[in-house]
Amino acid sequence: MSVMSVKISIRVKKEILEIADKMVRYGLARSRSQAINTMIEKGLRDVINEVKFWDEIYLEAEKLVTNNFKLRHGELRKLLEEDRLMR
């Protein structure tokens, strides 16, 4: 199965580019693009888990709004903190 790739232009920190160049130099990647994709993939699991967490929070907040629940200033933060403590 082939993986479709899309070309985009991005700005990265100089340190990231230096690491990508070293990965190419040491044979860990064939190109800067592959090196940066490897960096992204290695960190992607953590990002996916964090996004899933916030997806759940967002959906729960939407349910509250649907049920005409009014959150006063600071109350949502309190609910989120309680949810994190329960995990």
Q: Enumerate the domain spans of the chain.
A: 14-86
Query: If you average pLDDT over every residue of the chain, what do you get?
Result: 84
pTM of this prediction exceeds 0.75: no
Instruction: Give the residue-averaged pLDDT of 56-73.
Output: 78
Task: Tell me the per-residue pLDDT of 24-62, one tens digit each, with 9 for 90 and over.
Answer: 999 999 999 999 999 999 999 888 988 898 888 888 888
Please tell me the predicted confidence (pLDDT) of residue 42: 92
Give the residue with greater pLDDT, 75 vs 13: 13
Q: Which residue has the tokens 């200033």?
A: 73
Please tell me the predicted confidence (pLDDT) of residue 60: 83
